[in-house]
Structure 1
Amino acid sequence: MWGRSPAWRAENAEKVRGYWRASYYRNRQRLAAERRRRKADVRQWLREYKQGLTCATCGERHPATLDFHHTEAADKEFSIGDAANYKWSRSRLLDEIAKCEILCANCHRKRHWTERTVRRREPESAMNGIDHGPAEGIG
């Protein structure tokens, strides 16, 4: 199929789809194993990447608690946590990580809560009467 011209493939789209469908069914176990291995590799790489990082707000260090918070929502192409489900290169992951700051899960949730609350209400009334505990001032 690859030796054919793009014009031929366009004219014979059904034949090409049939070829790829048959190829998938012949190789589905191998493809599924590769997909599982790739997902595990990306998850492991992200775990290793988080080693030695700390929350920008409170200093928490445990990798299981650390999240990637996109500082500019408009620049976000994808969620780093979903990266294992796609075939993105490490350089693309690093480009996306560069748009983020590291926050622990608690500080990340508080940051989003604050952003959402402030968006819904006026800033001065959004924070009145709410005890933020020791992490006051986030956002």
Structure 2
Amino acid sequence: MRADKTCIGGRMNQNQNQNPNHTVRKITLPSGRNIEVIRFERTKKPARGGLHICPDCESDLVQPLAWSEPLDGGWELELSCPNCRWNTEGVFSQEEVYELEDRLDEGLEDMLRDLKRLTHANMVEEIDRFVVALNANHILPEDF
């Protein structure tokens, strides 16, 4: 069943479709031309698992801000997503914390690999500039 709202000249005709995941709006432009705008509602996907996945923006960059080991054997963590600033606190199992640690270690390895690659690229560029300066006699003994 559809409910229509009709407007003219900045006016809209909104149709409610039976599909709750989107709405259709018919807009009449000042030129008289009619267009339909379909707006899809964002549906939450089930969590893909892991403490490193943000439930709001689905980023895999969630990181612990604080942690403590409560008496029941789990870990109390404060988690934050640097992408959308989502925060939560909770008690998580040892397995979940180990998985988060593994993801953090992988991220650290990725950053160190990138740092090494960037350092190498910068050094190559500096050496190339030094060679060009030597060949052009821009470097003199007094420079050392």
Q: Do both share a fold (TM > 0.5)?
A: no
**Greater Cα radius of gyration, structure 1 or 2:** 2
TM-score relative to the length of structure 2: 0.24
Which structure has the highest strand share of the two?
2
TM-score relative to the length of structure 1: 0.25
Which structure has the highest helix share of the two?
1
